[in-house]
Chains A and B, each alone.
Chain A
Amino acid sequence: MKKNTLAKQIIFYVALVAIWQIVSMTNIWPNNLFPSPYEVAEDLVYTASDGSLFFGIATSLLRLIVGLTIAIVGGMLLGIFMARVEIVNQTIGSLVLGLQSIPSVAWVPLAILWFGLTDGGIIFVTTIGSMFAVTIATYTGVKNINPHYIEAAKNMGAKGTQLATYVLIPAAFPYLISGFKQGWAFAWRGVIGAELLFSFLGLGFLLNVGRQLNDISQVFAIMLVIMMVGIAIDGIIFKRIENKVMSRWGLR
């Protein structure tokens, strides 16, 4: 990021918090509906100091990692099969497009019936909500591989799993990475949504507790944390992988 951009962003956020503080001081909205930044910060410090915030973050992230890993592995396998075997594409391919359009929280009732109020249920929602984005990106990526790469590899003796591991996946990586990013975004929504509805741990749960206790600063605080974890994962993990891949391919 350019220094200039960073400076602009800092100024923007400082201004945003200042405006927030001013609006909350005017008492347009009652204090129990619109907390001041100070109150939110206080709440953050409080939930952080008793450890419940970090425990919540860790719980949500762990569920995210398990669910997303299954989604990425399964999504890639399915995507490769769809791209390479026409009959799979014609049949399962159409189903995938349909499943992809179901919002992840719509899987919650099914998850509760199948898994009960367990971690398994939450991971199920996370996985199923993000897998098909990975599948579609993998399919598109493999379909767009320069056919000469595949021919050259086969000519040099690559086939089956070897072809998939050493050629299809790396050659489709510029597409895969955008699929992973999309999958991660869906997975994060899925985890929080599911936790909100049926969990006793995690950030989604803390958010729900805030609502039940009418603790508006906690609601604000947890939402802030959910956003910041999202920004951090995007910036630390995915941006990094993306930059590395792009520069290695000479695309940047």
Chain B
Amino acid sequence: MTKLEAKNIVKYFKHDSHRLKALGGVNLQIEDGEFVCLVGPSGCGKSTFLRIVAGLEIPDEGEILFDGKPVTTTGPERIMVFQEGALFPWLKVQDNVEFGLKMAGIPKEERTEISKRYLDMMQLTKFADSYTYQLSTGMKQRVAIARALVMDPDVLLMDEPFAALDAQTRDLLLVEMQLIWEKTKKTILFVTHNVTEATVLGTKVAVFSNRPSMIKKIISVNYKRPRLVEDQNLFPLQQEILSELRPEVKKS
């Protein structure tokens, strides 16, 4: 079943004197339960595309179909994990994780029960009462992922969530992310500029061209999981993706 469909998405941005065409007609079809990684040169519009899918930005042309229906607004069925986490500094970790449930009017005991489960899953139980400034970058990203998962969204939208992490933490989260996906069977759109990350995580890797961006190539990744960063089997695919990316990065 098709979960998400991007139909000819075009997006312009006003820059003082001119209009910048960021997205030049993006077409993408994503089936229920797919894990799609988006790679592309920096500034090509990956974040913009994700924000459009989330309903946080409106495209100038084209539309996003979610379960066949056009997306007009943002909502908890498509939850975004922001690049910098965007955790609320005025709330404790547990209250951050429960935020969406509270907005949905779920009573406190039930919220606690649900958040406990995800805090546990992300190994955050010890930090439930901490404020976010007390956490390392890796911990913050775990909180952001937990906060998204408690909403039990149909689609998870992740914008370079691991970009700021050190290598060890990232490798750990790459494995955990695969386990989460296998356990929950969520549809995931995951933006990264890291080709290794894309091949480790994705069932598919979509390569964006330079601006005005379109999807240049979609490559399927069919190796068994859990995949590790050092997996030799993934090298040829990584080379293939890089050879698609290289001319685009040069152009930008």
Instruction: Please report A residues at the B interface, Cβ cutoff 8 Å.
Output: 146, 148-149, 151-158, 162, 166-167, 170-171, 173, 245, 248-250
Determine the chain A residues whose CB is within 8 A of the CB of B134 once the complex forms: 250
Expressed in whole angstroms, the Cα–Cα distance for A249 and B131 within the complex equals 8
Q: Point out the residue from A146, A152, A158, A170 that lies within 8 Å of B80, measured CB to CB.
A: A152
Determine the chain B residues whose CB is within 8 A of the CB of A245 once the complex forms: 90
- Give the number of chain B interface residues (Cβ < 8 Å): 27
- Do A156 and B79 contact each other (CB < 8 Å), given the known contacts A248-B131, A250-B133, A250-B134? yes
Expressed in whole angstroms, the Cα–Cα distance for A157 and B55 within the complex equals 12
Main secondary structure of the interface of A (DSSP, over half): helix
Q: Point out the residue from B74, B91, B132 that lies within 8 Å of A154, measured CB to CB.
A: B74
B226 within 8 A of A: no
Contact between chains at A152 and B133 (CB < 8 Å): no
Expressed in whole angstroms, the Cα–Cα distance for A151 and B56 within the complex equals 7
28 contacts between A and B (CB under 8 A): A148-B84, A151-B80, A151-B82, A153-B88, A153-B103, A154-B74, A155-B78, A155-B79, A155-B80, A156-B100, A156-B147, A157-B100, A158-B99, A166-B103, A167-B88, A170-B88, A170-B91, A171-B90, A173-B90, A245-B90, A248-B89, A248-B90, A249-B89, A249-B90, A249-B131, A250-B131, A250-B132, A250-B133
Give the 7 A-B CB pairs with smallest separation, nearest first: A250-B133, A156-B100, A148-B86, A170-B90, A157-B103, A152-B86, A157-B76
Closest to A158 in B: B103
B104 within 8 A of A: yes
Determine the chain A residues whose CB is within 8 A of the CB of B88 once the complex forms: 149, 152-153, 167, 170-171
Determine the chain B residues whose CB is within 8 A of the CB of A152 once the complex forms: 80, 82, 86, 88
Determine the chain B residues whose CB is within 8 A of the CB of A162 once the complex forms: 103
Closest to B132 in A: A250
- Do A155 and B75 contact each other (CB < 8 Å), given the known contacts A166-B102, A249-B133? yes
Determine the chain B residues whose CB is within 8 A of the CB of A170 once the complex forms: 88, 90-91
Rounded to whole Å, the gap between the CB of B26 and the closest CB of chain A is 20
Rounded to whole Å, the gap between the CB of B72 and the closest CB of chain A is 13
Determine the chain B residues whose CB is within 8 A of the CB of A156 once the complex forms: 76, 79, 99-100, 103, 147, 151
What total of A-B pairs shows CB separation below 8 Å?
A: 67
B54 within 8 A of A: yes
A-B contacts besides A170-B88, A248-B89, 18 pairs, CB < 8 Å = A149-B86, A151-B74, A152-B82, A153-B103, A155-B55, A155-B74, A155-B76, A156-B103, A156-B151, A157-B75, A166-B99, A166-B102, A171-B88, A248-B90, A249-B89, A249-B133, A250-B131, A250-B133
Rounded to whole Å, the gap between the CB of A145 and the closest CB of chain B is 11
Expressed in whole angstroms, the Cα–Cα distance for A148 and B91 within the complex equals 15
Q: Chain B, 67-102, contact with A by CB distance < 8 Å: what is the 0/1 string?
A: 000000011101110101010111100000001101
Closest to A173 in B: B90
Rounded to whole Å, the gap between the CB of B131 and the closest CB of chain A is 6
Determine the chain A residues whose CB is within 8 A of the CB of B76 once the complex forms: 155-157
Rounded to whole Å, the gap between the CB of B251 and the closest CB of chain A is 30
Contact between chains at A250 and B89 (CB < 8 Å): yes
